[in-house]
């Protein structure tokens, strides 16, 4: 969810009216949608649900986070970024000033009603972890350098994250244009132009091989290919949800 949060909390994704925000938050509450809670600027993530939406009283009530933390520990990490799925699209808000309260069904956190709610409408932002049986080896054709063959880690309709070995000739660079990214998706051969968006810290496998995480952005994918990617992402998302 961290990647989604990094893209979501921007002015262009802010819901324009309080009424719409109320509708979204009440739906999250009624459907017991799982919330991912992320302390701003940290790699930790907690889980919760919305128990109550009280616009008149000006507050939300959230279930105690899992794994549990004290109010003091959470307040030291404020603001807390909250992200959930709403009708297949990601929504989010920020909370602070948590207060531990007792309810008939146990303890919970009460917090001020969020000043803004965000709604990520672009479906190409959906990113799912891949099943190795679905996506074969990924070949990156570089300009003026040897090709690299990697393993897909996750994918969206707009890009993918790949683990590749260290290049033997020229280092990879953020912003580097790739001639093509070639892979099989559920038996369908795909070739896409892409750009390196970011480089992750090198990882060491148990066998001592160094792999580099690459975030790739597809450049103007053909509509038919984009539909195939989105269809896979939606199918895979349902599989992951059903396996929880």
Topology of domain 2-121 in CATH is Pnp Oxidase; Chain A (2.30.110)
Q: State the Cα–Cα distance between residues 31 and 214, nearest whole angstrom.
A: 36
Q: What is the pTM of this model?
A: 0.52
Segment 173-183 mean pLDDT = 93
pLDDT in tens, 51-83: 999 877 789 999 999 988 888 888 777 789 999
Higher pLDDT, 62 or 238: 62
Residue 100 near residue 61 (C-beta atoms within 8 A): no
Query: What is the residue-averaged pLDDT of the chain?
Result: 87
Q: What is the dihedral of CA 19, 25, 26, 31, to 10 degrees?
A: 150
pLDDT for the residue 237: 81
State the span(s) of the chain assigned CATH 2.30.110.10.
Answer: 2-121
Distance between CA 52 and CA 103 in Å, rounded? 11
According to CATH, what is the number of the domain 128-242?
2.40.10.220
pLDDT single digits (tens) 199-222: 888 888 888 888 999 999 888 888
Instruction: Name the pLDDT band for 241 (thresholds 50, 70, 90).
Output: confident
Length of the chain: 244
Tell me the CB-side half-sphere exposure of residue 104, using CA atoms within 13 A: 1
Q: Where in the chain is the domain with CATH 2.40.10.220?
A: 128-242
CB 77 within 8 A of CB 40: yes
Question: Any residues with CB less than 8 A from the CB of 109 and at least 6 apart, and which?
Answer: 48, 61, 62, 63, 64, 65, 71, 74, 98, 99, 100, 101
Q: Which conformational region is residue 144 in: left (phi greater than 0), alpha (psi within -120 to 50 degrees), or beta?
A: left
Question: Are 47 and 71 contacting, i.e. CB atoms less than 8 angstroms apart?
Answer: no
């Amino acid at each position: 969810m961290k990647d989604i949060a990094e893209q979501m909390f921007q002015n262009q994704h802010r819901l324009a009216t309080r009424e719409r925000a109320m509708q979204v938050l009440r739906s999250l509450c009624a459907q017991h949608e799982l919330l991912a809670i992320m302390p701003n600027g940290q790699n930790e993530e907690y889980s919760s649900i919305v128990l109550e939406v009280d616009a008149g009283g000006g507050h939300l009530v959230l279930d105690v986070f899992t794994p549990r933390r004290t109010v003091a520990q959470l307040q030291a990490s404020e603001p807390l970024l909250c992200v959930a799925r709403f009708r297949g699209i990601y929504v989010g808000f920020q909370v602070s000033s948590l207060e531990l309260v007792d309810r008939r069904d146990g303890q919970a956190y009460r917090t001020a009603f969020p000043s803004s709610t965000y709604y990520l409408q672009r479906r190409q932002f959906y990113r799912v972890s891949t099943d190795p049986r679905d996506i074969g080896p990924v070949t990156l054709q570089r300009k003026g350098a040897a090709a690299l063959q990697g393993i897909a880690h996750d994918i969206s309709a707009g890009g993918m994250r790949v683990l590749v070995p260290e290049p033997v000739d020229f280092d990879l660079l953020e912003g580097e244009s790739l001639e093509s990214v070639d892979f099989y998706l559920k038996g369908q051969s795909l070739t896409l132009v892409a750009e390196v968006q970011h480089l992750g810290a090198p990882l060491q496998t148990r066998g001592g091989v160094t792999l580099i995480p690459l975030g790739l952005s597809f450049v103007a994918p053909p509509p038919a290919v984009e539909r195939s990617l989105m269809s896979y992402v939606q199918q895979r998302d349902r599989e992951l949800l059903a396996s929880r």
